[in-house]
Amino acid sequence: MSENARSTVLVSGATGFMGTAVTRELLSRGHRVRAMSRSVDRARIELGRYPEGRTALDEGRLTFVEADVTQPQTLDEAVRKVDAVAQTAQFPGAPVEDPDKGLTYMNVDRNGTINLLQAIARVYEARTAGPGITRFTQRAPHFLYLSGVTVEEGAANVWDRAKWQAEEAIRGSGLDWSIVRASPAYGPEDKSFNRLIGYSDYQPFVAIFGDGNEKLTPVYVGDVGRIFARLLEERDRVRDLTLPFGGPQVVTMNDLLRTMLEVMGRRRRLLHIPKPVGKAQAFVLQFLPGRFLTPDAVEFTAQGGVADLTRLRETFPDFELTPLREGLAGYLG
């Protein structure tokens, strides 16, 4: 890749599970990343753990900015002089919301995205060119957004409503944009599936909420990083694209957990906790120190979500998704 082909990308949430994958992939391809985090020191340590991060630090391609999507006053300098903005920020402890600390889907996913868009509008001098039409006096960055596979208009769940409203703000921003509606991701740093299966370290069962028959298309987190890189590098071809994105296999939650156990060489039974029972327990737990669980989080962990890969295959026919067992074996085996 020539120097002229390299882009400078602001990654919001660069040290999160998904943001780290996006950052690592961009750096491995020679791009420059401005890692946005609430703690620059922590971000430098976290991303410096990876070979791509260490190489990019030595070459000056990995820089940092201390900012927070929920604090608009911190964002103008963060978005200045970049070719793209990748919004992958997720609040700590998700899906367990903590309204007292501002850690909610509406505050982070929706408002945080709107705050980034408004910062871009200020810095790149957006002007109204007519009803519903926005023009920029400078070349504005391509906006890449990590959404969810279950997001749709009129969704009942707060996480889907928040992301839908964020998507709507992006679509009306006047920017070039690409939205990735990703399925639940798995990988070495995942705190969702890995937490569930981690109970098998010391229990003869793995407990899950619901009957476990919800269908989903779990995707390897490295594939998420790769699709963000492709969207960046083919900006003109993927302008204003909403892309459902998931793994190549449709499985149930039961199938996924059993495959994880098989890869680990373990035999454990699955213990299904009815959702009403789980929500009753969560109602109490949400008031304890640490806010371990909430009724909404029970619903979140029990939902399915299948990505229709038709658009992915039409747009990127050469994109190869990681088979489930192969992806799991890479870190559990």
Q: By C-alpha distance, which of 174, 152, 156, 175 is closest to 165? A: 152
Q: What is the pLDDT of residues 227-247, one digit of tens each?
A: 999 999 999 999 999 999 999
CB-CB contact of 34 with 65 (8 Å): yes
Tell me what pLDDT residue 5 has.
67
How confident is the model over 254-280, as a mean pLDDT?
Answer: 94
291 to 241, 274, 299: CA distances (angstroms): 37, 21, 16
Instruction: Give Cα separations from 59 to 6, 182, 224 (angstroms).
Output: 13, 32, 25
pLDDT at 311: 97
Q: Please, what are the domains in the chain?
A: 184-219+247-306+322-333 (3.90.25.10)
pTM value? 0.93
pLDDT, tens digit (0-9, with 9 covering 90-100), for 202-215: 899 999 999 999 99
Tokens of 183: 């399925």
Q: Name the percent of the chain in helix, strand, coil, to the closest 5.
A: 45, 20, 35
What does 199-228 look like in DSSP terms, one character per residue?
GGGT-SEEEEES-S--EE--EEHHHHHHHH
Asked if 82 contacts 8 with a C-beta cutoff of 8 angstroms, the reply is yes
Residue 135's φ and ψ, nearest 5 degrees, are: -125, 145
Render pLDDT for 245-263 as a digit per residue (tens, 0 to 9).
999 999 999 999 999 999 9
Confidence of residue 156 (pLDDT cuts 50, 70, 90): confident
What the block records as the tokens of 204 is 């003869």
Q: Is 288 left (phi over 0), alpha (psi -120 to 50) or beta?
A: beta
CA distance linking residue 292 with residue 95, whole number of Å: 10
Cα 233 versus chain centre, distance: 19
Reported as a single tens digit per residue, the pLDDT across 48-86 is 999 999 999 999 999 999 999 999 999 999 999 999 999
CA 313/CA 320 separation, integer angstroms: 9
Q: Tokens 């990127």 identify what position?
A: 316
Q: Count Cβ atoms within 10 A of the Cβ of residue 237 and give its class: 0-12 exposed, 13-18 middle, 19 or more buried.
A: exposed
Does 127 score more than 90 pLDDT?
A: no
pLDDT, tens digit (0-9, with 9 covering 90-100), for 9-38: 999 999 999 999 999 999 999 999 999 999
Separation of alpha carbons 171 and 240, rounded Å: 8
Distance CA 30, CA 216 (A): 33
Give the β-pairing of 251-252 and 215-216. antiparallel
pLDDT of residue 174: 94
**286-301: pLDDT as tens digits:** 888 888 788 888 888 8
Q: Which residues contact 180 (CB under 8 A, 6 or more apart)?
A: 144, 145, 146, 147, 224, 227, 228, 231, 243, 245
Gap between the Cα atoms of 110 and 1, Å rounded: 35
Alpha helices in the chain (DSSP H): 17-28, 40-47, 51-59, 76-79, 105, 111-123, 158-171, 193-198, 221-233, 253-264, 275-285, 295-302, 310-315, 324-332
pLDDT of residue 3: 42
Whether 306 contacts 239, CB under 8 Å: no
